[in-house]
Amino acid sequence: MRNLCIVGLCVFVACGMSAHAGNLTPPAGPVAPTLKTLVDVEPRIMINADNTPGDADSVFKITSSGSYYLRGNLTVILAESAIEIAADDVTLDLNGFEIRGFDSGSLNGIVASHGSARNIRILNGSITGFGGSGIDLPAIGDNCMVQDVRVSGCGGFGIRIGGQCHILNCAVEGSGDSGFDVGSNSVLDRCTAKSNGGVGFFAGSFTSITACRGSENTSHGVHCGSSCSLESCAMFLNGGYGFLILSGSAMALCSADANDLAGIRTTKGCLVVDCTSWQNREEGILIDPNSIVKNCVARENSLNGIETRTPPLFDGEFTSVISGCTSGDNTGHGILALKHCLVEGNVCESNGLTGIRVEDEGNRIENNVVLNNPLGLHVVGDRNLILRNSAKFNSTNYEIVVNNRYGAILSLAGAGGAAVSGSAAASNLGSVDPWANFSH
pLDDT for position 16:
46
DSSP state of 185: S
pLDDT for position 36:
61
pLDDT for position 4:
39
**CB neighbours of residue 73 within 10 Å:** 13
Average pLDDT of the residues of the chain:
90
d(CA 342, CA 317): 13
Residue 372 has pLDDT above 80, yes or no: yes
CA 350 to chain centre: 30
Question: Cα dist. 191→65, 122, 194, 363, 426 in Å?
Answer: 28, 15, 10, 40, 58
Look up residue 389 and give its amino acid: N
424 pLDDT band (50/70/90 cuts)? confident
User: What percent of the chain clears pLDDT 70, i.e. is strictly above it?
Assistant: 88
Within a 13 Å sphere around the CA of 62, how many CA atoms are in the beta-carbon half?
29
Rounded to an integer, the average pLDDT of 8-25 is 49
pLDDT for position 122:
97
- Winning range, highest mean pLDDT, from 11-15, 174-178, 359-363: 174-178
Instruction: Classify burial at 252, counting beta carbons within 10 Å of its beta carbon; exposed 0-12, middle 13-18, buried 19 or more.
Output: middle
Residue 38 has pLDDT above 60, yes or no: no
d(CA 174, CA 111): 19
pLDDT tens across 95-130, in order? 999 999 987 789 999 999 876 778 999 999 999 999
Which helix (H) or strand (E) segment holds residue 40: the answer is helix 38-41
Question: Cα dist. 370→100, 392, 424 in Å?
Answer: 57, 7, 29
User: CA angle, corner 111, sides to 110 and 114, nearest 5?
Assistant: 150
Cα-trace Rg, the chain: 33
Look up residue 382 and give its amino acid: D
Contacts of 146 (CB under 8 A, 6+ apart): 121, 122, 123, 135, 159, 161, 165, 166, 167, 168, 170
DSSP state of 30: P
d(CA 193, CA 151): 10
pLDDT for position 215:
98
Residue 308 has pLDDT above 70, yes or no: yes
**Nearest C-alpha neighbor of 83 from the set 122, 119, 116:** 122
Q: Give me the helices (H) in 143-264, please.
A: none
Q: First and final CA of the chain: distance in angstroms? A: 102
pLDDT for position 10:
42
Rounded to an integer, the average pLDDT of 362-389 is 97
Of 202-206, 275-279, 413-417, the poorest mean pLDDT is in 413-417
Are the CB atoms for 228 and 203 separated by under 8 Å? yes
pLDDT tens across 333-349, in order? 999 999 999 999 999 99
- Whether the CA torsion 239, 241, 243, 246 is positive or negative: it is negative
pLDDT for position 355:
98
Rounded to an integer, the average pLDDT of 169-191 is 97
Rounded to an integer, the average pLDDT of 70-93 is 95
pLDDT for position 6:
43
Contacts of 3 (CB under 8 A, 6+ apart): none
- Whether the CA torsion 301, 302, 308, 313 is positive or negative: it is negative
Instruction: Classify burial at 89, counting beta carbons within 10 Å of its beta carbon; exposed 0-12, middle 13-18, buried 19 or more.
Output: middle
Higher pLDDT, 26 or 161: 161
Label each residue of 57-110 as H, E or C.
CEEEEECCCEEEECCCCEECCCCCEEEEECCCCEEEECCCCEEEEEECCCCCCE
The CATH class of 246-412+434-440 is mainly beta
**CB neighbours of residue 352 within 10 Å:** 15
pLDDT for position 2:
44
pLDDT for position 33:
62
pLDDT for position 433:
83
d(CA 154, CA 106): 10
pLDDT for position 105:
81
pLDDT tens across 386-411, in order? 999 999 999 999 999 999 999 999 98
pLDDT for position 5:
43
pLDDT tens across 228-263, in order? 999 999 999 999 999 999 999 999 999 999 999 999
- DSSP assignment of 318-336 equals ---EEES-EEES-SS-SEE
User: What percent of the chain clears pLDDT 90, i.e. is strictly above it?
Assistant: 77
**Nearest C-alpha neighbor of 170 from the set 185, 184, 155, 150:** 150
- Whether the CA torsion 270, 264, 305, 276 is positive or negative: it is positive
